[in-house]
Chains A and B, each alone.
Chain A
Amino acid sequence: MMVPVAHEPLRNPFCTRSIRAGRIPSLDASGRPVNPADMLAALERLDGAAALVGPHGSGKSTLLWHIAGALEARGQRVERVRLHRRWDLVSLVRAVVRGAGGGTVCVDSWERLGRPWADAVRWFARACGARLLVTAHGPGPLPTLWACRTSPALLAAIVAQLPNGGGLVAPQREQQIEEAFRRAAGDIREALFLLYDRFEEQTRARRPARPHGT
């Protein structure tokens, strides 16, 4: 017997699947959408090499992938690289080669390269004719395209766009968001993880316990 049952697991709206870069919109500190067209125009003015700067969890990676998506939507070639280890330098060089002749190489965690390698890659990208857009914690040799800042309004705007509005309802909604923002000291990612924990606690409290389960 074939059973056409509508079956969707109860998902925590704050799980990494929902909040990772590329899945949530890129917003400014007041919660308004960042216009990628402005960013792209500014990138052109900065000679095709620039940095998005900001502290942990301020939305640098989200903005980076957002701009990358906007470039792709315009039909441009985009290469995305995340630097975790030294060995990722190979991936970066590969990306620059793939982006040669007008492509854009988007690099997350640029600082992990170290200054000499960063300078070398920057020179190589320029020689190949590839644009370079990176994220960093603070201003460096690359000109700053955008400084990411956070606020409770930004967190509220992000939560509103998660599945089911993050499961938060008025009137406690604003208070819960303010509290998460404060406890995370302005780190949006950390605040979203705190809201993840809160969602789990509330879900478990409503679920009937089973006798032997873990």
Chain B
Amino acid sequence: MSVADEGSGAAKLPTPRVSMYFDHPARQYAPAGDLVVRYDVEGAAPAVVRALERSVLWYTEGKGEEDIGVHHFERLDAATDVAEALPTGTITVRLPASPLSYEGIIVKIRWCVRIRLFFVAGRDYVSEHVFEVGDIAPARGTVERLP
């Protein structure tokens, strides 16, 4: 199942579709625990992909600028590596102890797995799949606004 796909590309080229399968129910992981995720890429044959980037990262969301912290990153440039990583691959990574996923009011922290495909034609395509680290209760509401 493909979730949160963000496709872009020139006309006449098919938009890829990335499905992500997480090994934990409800995509919820313990801090410092292991994440195993399998992905399936449809509509992007290895021959048309120049490079593939697989990353696990957190980013902030809310009323502030978006900050990003990359926990795991790998770039596959070699044709043999790309052929091995497509159409199916697995990412296994030990998550850090922080930051934990957080549903605040003006600051939210989200963890995600991103697959970025760089096509021979020059364009790139990114697919993002959110999961949770930890079990932090959401903020209940605004108590007071500070000047």
Seen from chain A, the residues whose Cβ lies within 8 Å of a Cβ on chain B are 1-9, 11-12, 15-17, 193, 196-197, 200-201, 204, 207, 209-210, 212-214
User: Considering the chains assembled together, what is the distance between the CA atoms of A174 and B98 in angstroms?
Assistant: 42
11 contacts between A and B (CB under 8 A): A2-B22, A4-B19, A9-B108, A9-B110, A9-B130, A15-B61, A201-B142, A209-B140, A210-B137, A213-B138, A213-B139
Distance in Å: Cβ of B37 to nearest Cβ of chain A: 8
Interface pair A16/B64, CB less than 8 Å apart: yes
Chain A contact residues, majority secondary structure: loop
Interface pair B140/A8, CB less than 8 Å apart: no
Seen from chain B, the residues whose Cβ lies within 8 Å of a Cβ on chain A are 1, 3-4, 19, 21-27, 38, 61-66, 103, 105-106, 108, 110, 130-131, 136-142
Distance in Å: Cβ of A213 to nearest Cβ of chain B: 2
User: Considering the chains assembled together, what is the distance between the CA atoms of A7 and B108 in angstroms?
Assistant: 16
Interface pair A7/B131, CB less than 8 Å apart: yes
Of A7, A12, A204, A210, the contact of B62 (CB 8 Å cutoff): A12
User: Considering the chains assembled together, what is the distance between the CA atoms of A207 and B103 in angstroms?
Assistant: 12
Distance in Å: Cβ of B105 to nearest Cβ of chain A: 5
Closest chain A residue to B26, Cβ basis? A5
Complex interface: chain A residues within 8 A of B140 (CB): 204, 209, 213-214
Interface pair A196/B137, CB less than 8 Å apart: no
Closest chain B residue to A205, Cβ basis? B141
